[in-house]
């Protein structure tokens, strides 16, 4: 009983949709006597303001031929890495950690030491840095116990994590 009711109602709905679409398209076609009359229906009414006529009220300066611009524009490629060539030495560390890394753009750099569980132990460095090859040294002075740690270098949205072992 239930299947028959659903089956019959689905056919009724499909036929109703077909009739509705038939009337909708026939009504739209009655306006189309010629191509131009159809386009007049679709065009918005013109306004007295000339800047709204094109929909764009900004005026761009004219392009002058034979003029060379001296403005430098830097375009970052999507595959361009901000942080690269990260090196931590010596490993195992005894008394001083040395870092070496390259930055491709001006960005904020944070260097942290984390334990094996990912908890921050020491923040070694946190500043804005110019692009280029950078070196960083930090004396431990018995601030860490013997064991394995991670150094996390964050530049912008990129980060690199290196494992170090501390031997005292």
Q: Are 109 and 133 in contact (CB under 8 A)?
A: no
Most confident of 58-62, 70-74, 87-91: 87-91
Q: What is the mean pLDDT of residues 10-33?
A: 71
Average pLDDT score over the chain: 77
- Whether the model clears a pTM of 0.85, i.e. scores above it, the answer is no
Per-residue CA distances from 77 to 46, 80, 162 (Å): 43, 5, 26
Distance CA 148, CA 121 (A): 12
What is the side-by-side strand order in the sheet with 120-129? 120-129, 107-114, 147-155, 158-166
Q: Provide the pLDDT for residue 125.
A: 92
Tokens 């009337």 correspond to what residue?
Answer: 23
3-state secondary structure 34-81: CHHHHHHHHCCCCCCCHHHCCCCCCCCCCCCCCCCCCCCCCCCCCCCC
pLDDT at 34 over 60: no
pLDDT tens, position by position, 113-143: 999 888 999 999 999 999 999 999 999 888 8
């Amino acid at each position: 009983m239930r299947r028959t009711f659903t089956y019959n109602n689905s056919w009724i709905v499909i036929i109703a949709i077909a009739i509705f679409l038939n009337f909708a398209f026939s009504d739209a076609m009655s306006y189309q006597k010629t191509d131009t009359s159809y386009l007049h229906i679709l065009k918005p009414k013109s306004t007295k303001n000339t800047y709204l006529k094109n929909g764009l009220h900004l005026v761009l300066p004219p392009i002058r031929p034979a003029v060379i611009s001296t403005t430098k524009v830097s375009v970052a490629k999507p595959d361009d890495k901000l942080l690269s060539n990260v090196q931590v030495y010596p490993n195992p560390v005894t008394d001083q950690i040395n870092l070496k890394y390259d930055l491709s753009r001006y960005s904020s750099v944070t260097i942290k030491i984390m334990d094996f569980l990912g908890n921050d132990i020491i923040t070694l460095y946190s500043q804005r840095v110019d692009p280029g090859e950078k070196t960083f040294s930090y004396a431990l002075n018995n601030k860490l116990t013997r064991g394995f740690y991670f150094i996390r270098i964050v530049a912008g949205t990129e980060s690199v994590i290196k494992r170090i072992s501390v031997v005292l």
